[in-house]
């Protein structure tokens, strides 16, 4: 087996049922194999019962398929795609609180933010908060530039990814509750079991 | 009609065709036990003596029938006692549904009396699990649980039902439509190009071998396997759980593979130029050192679980699909072949093995496990369902009891759970009441679940218990002999008098110390309609050969010395 490069990462996009415990099932799978999750984002989609995750895992590319097939085995996971090798758009968002208590730092911040997709979203007498959106790499680059000014606090959302083109990640899933409610309704209408 | 949650559970089990369930009551499941009384005539409840027993009984029932086995337990300690049985079923893909009581919803998370986060605990050892929080979803959830347990790669599913959900009322609506789950769609047939690729490898091969596993029986593909083997004259080696996939007396069957498999099978695998792996998962007990495993062979791997393909062994042609379906696609296009030289070579290896067969040795005055097993085989016409525990006796059963029919050897392979054998045999008897059932268990493992003798007696279950008593945790002792210079740390056992124990439970029994007593004892057991126990006092320091030490190359087997070689 090829040696896993420490810095190599696998990016997984998964459509999952929006149900309690799903995150746990997914996390458990990585924990079992001692893969470190670098970032994990979950959010709702345009479908009522579906969430979408982007997971960045520290693992060699030779594990990508194993990760995908094992995730796919989970009943609540509707679809999985490893997105690294296909054209895709990815975004990470960082909020960076930096020192802002002298003219020098204020100038530097404004100057750097002009050159990046970054905005100052809050300014106080001592600190300012910068919002920066971009790929992981560009955010990393940006952080290194503002680091000398003095980072006080920082948070990143983690990467979200979407494949380009028309191969769409979607489903018409209806959850159990909705099915039960539909069955009750149908039954009260015509008395038939559904 | 409105029903209570507890009644909905019963109605749903009936709809799923359940007629027996194995369980143990307690506070959080009491409403469901109360509802049982109305269903007694249709749903038989077997009171076990330890919930682990219930889980193994459900498992044994499932393995013997292919149907879903059901076990029930209360919250907290009742549910945690199921854990070993669930993990056992998970490893061997056995379909069971476990229903557990849970503390009422408002108390969940408060460290309430007998509260355990059971869905959390069992998450990695179930195929799927549920915490039901709304009585209206109960019927649907149970239907879904059975569907998931039984389809695709089967496995255990747990449904945790809080007490207030069992007490709450709802309209009982049984979902008649088939379950559709977007995230759950087990593969079925192969693509044409996959079939063609497999056919090409089969046509080109000169030294092919079929590795037949448990999946053959789960898929019901016994006839297809046989046709494949006969038409192409390809020898068939079986995994431990694959025993019965093809009659072992069939001339193309060359025995079990792996750690304690036939030398001829292992040598054939190492020499082969094509492995056709069907419904087996290349367990490390099967492959030994992966780096040197079947290096010259191309591999076709057919398995319903996509994640099994390329997991341990890289497949040249990997097909995710149901075996019966895929083989049915493949067979019409298959061309006949013969492999005389190859089969001749394997015959030579087989001959060498039979010279080393312990049954051909003179062993005056001592009783050997191999002899006991082989005599039971003869006396049962080779037609019993044997259920083993884990250890030396398990491997010797595999070697000396050839199975002719599918699902007639039930054994814990993947987890190797001591304590499995006896309760699983009870469960098997409920599933196959007309079969002759033999629990072949070690003196160590039997003591882990022997409390179920009370269950067998109370229910008058016609199982025959054969205790292979070597006064040792024999398999561990074997490792100590081979790898730890015979330092027998914690393996000798001072045992109870098993026959007196059986007496205490009212179970008729015999003790056998000589080979010529075996027949009488077996006939005695067969003549009684109810549980019986035979204690076989065997040689203490027997060895199981051949043996591929853990992690060694598959061809690097420790063999039994030939007579006179010692
Ligand atoms: C002490 C001890 C010693 C052992 N020594 C040996 C040994 O020497 N040799 C040996 O073989 N085993 C041995 N075992 C057992 C071993 O650990 C494994 O349990 C066993 O090899 C697994 O066999 P399997 O792969 O056929 O079955 P399983 O582990 O049950 O795997 C079955 C496979 O079939 C697939 N499947 C299920 N349904 C279908 C379907 N419809 N279509 C297609 N595929 C399907 C599943 O996805 C799975 O991959 C030993 C165990 C113990 C405890
Ligand atoms: C629950 C459990 N604990 C420990 C083991 C490790 N183990 C494997 S075989 C064995 C010895 C079994 O002894 P016995 O039941 O007497 O059978 P024998 O090998 O003597 O035939 C042990 C301890 C196991 N498989 N399962
Ligand atoms: Mg023993």
* pLDDT of the residue at A191: 40
* Residue to mutate, B53, B81, B386, B390, ligand 2, most ligand atoms under 8 Å from C-beta: B390
**B532 vs A: CB within 8 A:** no
Question: pLDDT below 50 — which residues of chain B?
Answer: none
Determine if residue B453 is left, alpha or beta; phi over 0 gives left, psi from -120 to 50 gives alpha, anything else beta. alpha
- The tokens describing A48, both together, are 């009522």
Q: Is the pLDDT of residue A154 over 60?
A: yes
- The tokens describing B92, both together, are 């061997």
Distance, in Å, from the CA atom of B131 to the CA atom of A19, rounded to the nearest integer, reads: 11
> Kind of pairing, strands A88-99 and A118-123?
unpaired
Neighboring chain A residues of B119 at a CB cutoff of 8 Å: 21
Smallest CA-to-CA distance from A17 within A50, A54, A53 is with A50
Distance, in Å, from the CA atom of B364 to the CA atom of B560, rounded to the nearest integer, reads: 18
Which ligand is located closest to the Cα atom of residue B448?
2
Q: Is the pLDDT of residue A3 over 80?
A: no
Its ipTM equals 0.90
pTM of the model: 0.95
Give strand pairing partners of A80.
A14
Chain A residue closest in CA terms to B305: A73
Distance, in Å, from the CA atom of B69 to the CA atom of B56, rounded to the nearest integer, reads: 9
Give strand pairing partners of A9.
A58
Q: What are phi and psi of B130, to 5 degrees?
A: -140, 145
CA distances from A43 to A49, A157, A174 (A): 11, 11, 17
B/e letters for B373-406, b = 16+ CB within 10 Å, e = fewer, are: bbbbbebbebebbbbbbbbbbbbbbbbbbbbeeb
Q: How many residues does chain A have?
A: 194
* pLDDT of the residue at A188: 60
Q: Is the pLDDT of residue A193 over 50?
A: no
Q: Give the contacts of A133 (CB within 8 A, at least 6 positions apart).
A: A91, A92, A93, A94, A117, A118
Q: Is there a contact between B83 and B14 (Cβ–Cβ < 8 Å)?
A: no
B215 lines ligand 1 (CB under 6 A): yes
The neighbour count for residue A99, using CB atoms within 10 Å, is 16
* pLDDT of the residue at B258: 97
Q: Calculate what percentage of chain A has a pLDDT beyond 70.
A: 91
Give strand pairing partners of B298.
B274
> Could you tell me the pLDDT band of residue A194, with boundaries at 50, 70 and 90?
very low
Neighboring chain A residues of B131 at a CB cutoff of 8 Å: 20-21
* pLDDT of the residue at B176: 87
- The tokens describing B128, both together, are 């799927």
B94 lines ligand 1 (CB under 6 A): no
> Kind of pairing, strands B20-23 and B69-73?
parallel
Distance, in Å, from the CA atom of B203 to the CA atom of B200, rounded to the nearest integer, reads: 5
The Å distance, Cα B493 to ligand 3 centre, comes to: 8
B418 lines ligand 2 (CB under 6 A): yes
> Could you tell me the pLDDT band of residue A161, with boundaries at 50, 70 and 90?
very high
Q: Is there a contact between B287 and B237 (Cβ–Cβ < 8 Å)?
A: no
pLDDT tens digits, B367-411: 999 999 999 999 999 999 999 999 999 999 999 999 999 999 999
* pLDDT of the residue at A48: 83
Q: Is there a contact between B193 and B319 (Cβ–Cβ < 8 Å)?
A: no
Q: Is there a contact between B189 and B54 (Cβ–Cβ < 8 Å)?
A: no
Chain B residue closest in CA terms to A67: B307
């Amino acid at each position: 087996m090829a040696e896993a490069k420490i810095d190599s990462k696998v990016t997984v996009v998964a459509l999952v049922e929006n149900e309690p415990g799903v995150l746990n099932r997914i996390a458990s799978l990585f924990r079992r194999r001692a893969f470190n999750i670098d970032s994990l984002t979950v959010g709702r989609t345009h479908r009522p019962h579906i969430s979408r995750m982007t997971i960045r895992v520290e693992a060699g590319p030779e594990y990508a398929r194993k990760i995908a097939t094992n995730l796919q085995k989970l009943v609540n996971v509707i679809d999985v795609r490893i997105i690294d090798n296909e054209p895709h758009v990815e975004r990470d968002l960082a909020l960076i609180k930096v020192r802002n208590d002298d003219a020098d730092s204020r100038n530097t911040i404004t100057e750097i933010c002009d050159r990046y997709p970054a905005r100052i979203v809050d300014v106080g007498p001592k600190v300012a908060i910068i919002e920066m959106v971009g790929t992981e790499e560009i955010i990393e680059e940006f952080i290194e530039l503002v680091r000398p000014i003095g980072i006080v606090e920082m948070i990143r959302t983690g990467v979200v990814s979407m494949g380009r083109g028309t191969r769409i990640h979607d489903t018409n899933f209806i959850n159990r509750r909705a099915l039960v409610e539909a069955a009750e309704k149908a039954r009260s209408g015509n008395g038939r079991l559904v | 009609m409105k029903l209570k949650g507890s009644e909905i559970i019963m109605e749903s089990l009936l709809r799923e065709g359940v007629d027996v369930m194995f369980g143990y009551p307690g506070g959080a499941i009491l409403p469901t036990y109360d509802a049982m009384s109305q269903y007694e005539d249709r749903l038989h409840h077997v009171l076990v003596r330890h919930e682990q027993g219930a889980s193994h009984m459900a498992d044994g029932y499932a393995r013997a029938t292919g149907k879903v086995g059901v076990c029930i337990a209360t919250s907290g300690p009742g549910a945690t006692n199921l854990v070993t049985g669930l993990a056992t079923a998970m490893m061997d893909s056995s379909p069971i549904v476990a229903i557990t009581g849970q503390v009422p919803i408002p108390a969940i998370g408060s460290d309430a009396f007998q509260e355990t986060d059971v869905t959390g605990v069992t998450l990695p050892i179930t195929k799927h699990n549920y915490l039901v929080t709304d009585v209206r979803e109960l019927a649907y959830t149970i239907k879904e649980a059975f569907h998931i347990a039984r389809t695709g790669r089967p496995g255990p599913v747990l449904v945790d039902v809080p007490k207030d959900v069992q007490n709450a009322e709802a309209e009982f609506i049984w979902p008649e439509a088939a379950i559709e789950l977007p995230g759950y769609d087990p593969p079925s047939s192969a693509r044409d190009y996959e079939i063609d690729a497999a056919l090409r490898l089969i046509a080109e091969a000169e030294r092919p071998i079929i590795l037949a596993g448990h999946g053959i029986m789960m898929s019901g593909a016994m006839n297809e396997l046989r046709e494949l083997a006969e038409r192409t004259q390809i020898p068939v080696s079986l995994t431990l759980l694959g025993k019965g996939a093809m009659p072992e007396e069939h001339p193309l069957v060359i025995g079990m593979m792996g750690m304690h498999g036939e030398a001829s099978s292992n040598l054939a695998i190492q020499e082969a130029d094509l492995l056709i792996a069907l419904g087996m998962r290349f367990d490390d007990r099967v492959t030994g050192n992966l780096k040197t495993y079947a290096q010259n062979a191309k591999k076709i791997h057919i398995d319903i679980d996509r994640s099994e393909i390329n997991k341990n062994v890289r497949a040249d042609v990997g097909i995710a699909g149901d075996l019966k379906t895929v083989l049915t696609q493949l067979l019409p296009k298959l061309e006949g072949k013969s492999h005389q030289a190859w089969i001749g070579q394997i015959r030579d290896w087989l001959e060498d093995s039979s010279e080393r067969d312990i049954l051909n040795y003179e062993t005056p005055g001592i009783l050997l496990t191999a002899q006991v097993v082989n005599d039971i085989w003869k006396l049962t016409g080779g037609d019993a369902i044997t259920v083993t525990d884990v250890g030396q006796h398990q491997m010797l059963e595999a070697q000396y009891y050839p199975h002719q029919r599918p699902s007639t050897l039930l054994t814990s392979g993947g987890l190797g759970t001591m304590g499995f054998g006896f309760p699983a045999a009870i469960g098997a008897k409920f599933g196959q009441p007309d079969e002759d059932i033999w629990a072949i268990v070690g003196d160590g493992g039997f003591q882990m679940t022997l409390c179920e003798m009370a269950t067998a007696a109370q229910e008058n279950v016609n199982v025959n218990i054969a205790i292979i008593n070597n006064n040792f945790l024999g398999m561990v002792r074997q490792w100590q002999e081979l790898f730890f210079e015979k330092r027998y740390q914690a393996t000798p056992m001072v045992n109870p008098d098993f026959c007196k124990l059986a007496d205490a439970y009212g179970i008729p029994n015999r003790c056998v110390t000589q080979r010529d007593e075996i027949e009488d004892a077996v006939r005695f057991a067969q003549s009684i309609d109810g549980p019986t126990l035979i204690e076989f006092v065997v040689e203490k320091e027997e060895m199981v050969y051949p043996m591929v030490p853990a992690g060694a190359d598959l061809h690097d087997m420790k063999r039994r010395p030939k007579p006179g070689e010692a």
